[in-house]
Chains A and B, each alone.
Chain A
Amino acid sequence: MARYIIRRVLQIIPILLGITIISFAVIHLAPGKPTDLMLQLNPKIEYEAREKLERIYGLDKPLYAQYFDWLKKLMRLDFGNSFTDNRPVIDKIFERLPVTLLINFLAMAVILIFSIPIGVKSAVKRGSFFDKVMTVLVFIGFAAPGFWLALLLMSFFGVRLGILPVSGIVSLDFENFTLSHKTVDLLRHLILPVSVASIGGVAGISRYMRQSMLGVISQDYIRTARAKGLSERTVIHKHALRNALLPIITILGLSIPALISGSVILETIFGIPGMGRLMVEAVFTRDYNVVMAGLVISAFLTLAGNLIADIAYVYADPRIRYDKISRPVR
């Protein structure tokens, strides 16, 4: 097992390197340069200013040279400076990451809290009124476009009822609040974004949970458990659930990289200064350093998330072994 883990960790390095090369090449394929936004179509501009600026930023060097410069810096964990305002990329990311992480963690918590019970009950009471209603509600939530739902909720709770703030993550006079007031203020601002962000997830995971649960309940060992005389509660919550949760663990592991990514649509609507807007704006302004930093961190988390999910599986499912050939349980 240890050898397996070490092998996987070492594999991360060449895979990550390959990802950076491809990413670097692809984002440079798009026409335009970071200097464009500063200089273009401003009637007062100097023709030579662009060339000067490109030299300053090293954008006139051949692509492979630019890549190696970037890679050398990365070795020192230096992600370089943003082309739009010259600030260190890492500063810009750390400014936006906390909000995004907070929203994503809260959304994930909401998703798990709601979707697992919904999924389980829907499976156990399959075909019942509850199951049917949940199916409809969940698909509506899944299909409704996030930005539309967001605007409706903002309009209703913010304007019509006036009980929740419309946008942003803190109030205007936040600085002058006491600590407890600050906490309440922040949470009030997050209610709508987290709700909208988790609707899709609740829909998806609860269906997944329901499906997985149905698959497990029909297994022989469940019949055995019941035959043994165990209470229905034990059968469902101890035996069936544990097995049905396995695919959910995989999903959780694969969702780790998504924790740092914000939905640019929701961030735009709610005016949240998160990672989504940072990355999308970086793409539009061809801010290569910011885009690469985002891609590298995301790639790293994906690989790490995969590894964690695979390891967690070993502990969750005794049938899984990586160093020996799996044998069927007797």
Chain B
Amino acid sequence: MSLETELSPVYGDAFVTGQIGDARTLVPILASDSPSSYIVSLVFNGLVKYDKNVELTGDLAESWDIEERGLVIVFHLRKGVKWHDGYPFTARDVKFTYECLIDPDIPTPYSGDFRMIKAVEIIDDYTLKVTYKEPFAPGLTSWGMPIMPEHILKGHNLLTTDFARNPVGTGPYKFKRWKTGERIDLVSNHGYFEHRPYIDRYIYRVIPDTATMFLELETFGIDSMSLTPLQYTRQTDTPFFRKRFQKFKYPMFVYTFMAYNLKDKKFKDKTVRRALNYAVDKNEIINGALLGQGRIATGQFVPESWAFNPEVKPYPFDPEKAKGMLGEAGWNDSDADGWLDKNGEKFEFTIIINQGNDTRRMAAEIIQRRLKDIGVKVNIRVLEWSVFINEFVNKKRFEALIMGWGLGREPDCFDIFHSSKTRTGEFNFITYSNPEVDRLLVEGRRTFDRSERKKIYREIHRILYEDQPYMFLYIPDALVAVNSRFQGIEASPIGIAYNFIDWWVPKDKQRFKY
């Protein structure tokens, strides 16, 4: 920072971000892709949101009371909040949003959590009572769902409404214009209930190629972008770059894993799965595929989550031990051909991955090599995403695959590991079944007490690592570059964008005037 920097924020300037994809719809409950969600998060608010300490705090709800041991949540909404068209925000908008979410004719991907609700009652304009069928701890987080305006959308078909391309919200930025495939323009909401954002304009530019995006960053065509590990480590250390840009590295709530099809007789034995875990050096994957920008994953929770169990340590890289364990399980190289076998069958399997993700491909290649060292033959097959999901994952026609889960801050992972979630299209496609884990998952959802839930999820973390339904691989870091003229950015476990309304640019450095 230079010495002439003003100490207090001023208004003005624009922030230009570069992203690979264009948004599809700006109707909040229909926006399931990242670009759409990105824009929606600036234009709308939910009742709650996460603060920089990864704790739930009020957004449109000022406070809430949890009653009857979690069966009832009463939200006290903020008064005086206005929609971008001036209309007042009230509890009616919340109830309307809820009704859309559970409407069977509206194809929203987010209805699951809201189906656990028995009733939503409007007590008065600013008080809302939500009664659940059973105590449901993840319910509170689900109210981070952006709220939609009843006075505009009531009676409209959410799939065909113009609102999708011209949204009206309560958020810090108002929608201005959308040039399809090119850019989306937002302007600051001067009446925003927290405070007027300092940055006057937000421009979202669609730049489909990461190499081009980097060139745009260098020529100041954009102010920020997500860097690839290569760009972060090798291309951004020049004096030019360091002077003009700030780099941020923070953990993502994402992890990559190799899943075993537990119905395959090779992988049914826990000893085999544990052995394979010893045979692969995760650090090698992080250094090779991520150039060091990541950490080893040991389970469903990342270190920044309160559910993370720090006592679960990753297995050391020990190929000899792996061979020993496989030998105990009956896999030996009886015909001395270099490959392990059992009952006449060679230990060979195929890992499938989706096209377009180089990091996963590199991880697969490293796994292939390390497993070859202990006599297990691995083939790799790359498939186009739709084919990958429809023909192989959903139909459970695979031996092993590599994929990633993007996690919410709420640790409930019922949908992924409960033994009931094995229908076509559901997430327990490995057919994992552990009665103790089932019990804990159900318990975890019903308990509201944080310390109780902590115990439950930490136990789940421990059991899952022991069971090894997945070989947990890595947690990548988010790598972001932002033009150095922006002040007020603070990295936190939930990233840097959480306090975007507090970012500002000193007058003499502002690039975009009106």
Q: Which residues of A come within 8 Å of B, CB atoms?
A: 30-32, 35-50, 52-53, 56, 84-87, 92, 95-96, 151, 154-155, 158-159, 162, 165-169, 172-173, 267-271, 273, 277-278, 284, 286
How far does the Cβ of B131 sit from chain A's closest Cβ, in whole Å? 21
Residues from chain B with a CB closer than 8 A to the CB of A84 are: 24
**Do the beta carbons of B111 and A154 come within 8 Å of each other?**
no
**Do the beta carbons of B180 and A273 come within 8 Å of each other?**
yes
How far does the Cβ of B92 sit from chain A's closest Cβ, in whole Å? 25
How far does the Cβ of B280 sit from chain A's closest Cβ, in whole Å? 24
Residues from chain B with a CB closer than 8 A to the CB of A86 are: 25, 159-160, 164
Is B215 engaged at the interface, CB distance under 8 Å to the other chain?
A: yes
A36-B389, A37-B33, A43-B427 in contact; A159/B212 too (CB < 8 A)?
A: no
Best-buried of B113, B181, B205, B215 by chain A (most CB within 10 Å): B181
Who on chain B is nearest to A54 by CB? B107
Pull 18 A–B residue pairs with CB atoms less than 8 Å apart, ordered by A. A32-B390, A36-B386, A38-B107, A39-B107, A39-B109, A44-B109, A46-B111, A50-B425, A151-B211, A151-B215, A158-B219, A159-B219, A165-B219, A172-B16, A172-B203, A172-B221, A172-B512, A270-B212
Residues from chain A with a CB closer than 8 A to the CB of B206 are: 271, 273
**Do the beta carbons of B181 and A277 come within 8 Å of each other?**
yes
**A32 to B388 alpha-carbon distance, docked (Å):** 9
**A284 to B388 alpha-carbon distance, docked (Å):** 12
How far does the Cβ of A165 sit from chain B's closest Cβ, in whole Å? 7
**Do the beta carbons of A43 and B415 come within 8 Å of each other?**
yes
How far does the Cβ of A128 sit from chain B's closest Cβ, in whole Å? 40
For the A-B complex with A45-B112, A86-B164, A172-B203 known, give 18 more contacts whose Cβ atoms are closer than 8 Å.
Answer: A30-B386, A42-B109, A44-B113, A52-B107, A85-B165, A151-B215, A154-B215, A155-B215, A159-B219, A166-B219, A166-B221, A173-B512, A268-B212, A271-B212, A273-B180, A273-B182, A277-B181, A286-B386
Is B218 engaged at the interface, CB distance under 8 Å to the other chain?
A: yes
Residues from chain B with a CB closer than 8 A to the CB of A284 are: 384-386
How far does the Cβ of B314 sit from chain A's closest Cβ, in whole Å? 24
Total residues of chain B contacting the partner, CB 8 A: 54
Partner of A47, one of B165, B384, B385, B423: B423
**A277 to B386 alpha-carbon distance, docked (Å):** 18
**Do the beta carbons of A53 and B107 come within 8 Å of each other?**
yes
Best-buried of B111, B160, B384, B386 by chain A (most CB within 10 Å): B386
Is B288 engaged at the interface, CB distance under 8 Å to the other chain?
A: no
Residues from chain B with a CB closer than 8 A to the CB of A31 are: 386-387, 390-391
**Do the beta carbons of B112 and A158 come within 8 Å of each other?**
no
**A44 to B504 alpha-carbon distance, docked (Å):** 35
**Do the beta carbons of B215 and A166 come within 8 Å of each other?**
yes
**Do the beta carbons of B109 and A271 come within 8 Å of each other?**
no
**Do the beta carbons of B109 and A45 come within 8 Å of each other?**
yes
**Do the beta carbons of B110 and A44 come within 8 Å of each other?**
yes
**Do the beta carbons of A49 and B32 come within 8 Å of each other?**
no
Partner of B105, one of A56, A168, A270: A56
Residues from chain B with a CB closer than 8 A to the CB of A267 are: 208
Who on chain A is nearest to B384 by CB? A284
Within 8 A of A (CB), among B411-427: 415-416, 423, 425-427
Residues from chain A with a CB closer than 8 A to the CB of B425 are: 40, 47, 50
Residues from chain A with a CB closer than 8 A to the CB of B389 are: 32, 36, 40-41
**A39 to B105 alpha-carbon distance, docked (Å):** 14
**Do the beta carbons of A162 and B164 come within 8 Å of each other?**
no
Is B207 engaged at the interface, CB distance under 8 Å to the other chain?
A: yes
Is B108 engaged at the interface, CB distance under 8 Å to the other chain?
A: yes
Residues from chain A with a CB closer than 8 A to the CB of B284 are: none
Is B125 engaged at the interface, CB distance under 8 Å to the other chain?
A: no
Is B104 engaged at the interface, CB distance under 8 Å to the other chain?
A: yes
Who on chain A is nearest to B355 by CB? A284
**Do the beta carbons of A162 and B219 come within 8 Å of each other?**
yes
Residues from chain B with a CB closer than 8 A to the CB of A96 are: 181
**A95 to B165 alpha-carbon distance, docked (Å):** 15
Residues from chain B with a CB closer than 8 A to the CB of A268 are: 208-209, 212
Who on chain A is nearest to B208 by CB? A268
How far does the Cβ of B103 sit from chain A's closest Cβ, in whole Å? 10
Is B405 engaged at the interface, CB distance under 8 Å to the other chain?
A: yes
How far does the Cβ of A49 sit from chain B's closest Cβ, in whole Å? 5
Is B466 engaged at the interface, CB distance under 8 Å to the other chain?
A: no
**A216 to B387 alpha-carbon distance, docked (Å):** 53
A-B pairs, top 6 by smallest CB distance, nearest first, are: A273-B181, A32-B386, A53-B107, A45-B109, A268-B208, A42-B109
Residues from chain A with a CB closer than 8 A to the CB of B386 are: 30-32, 36-37, 284, 286
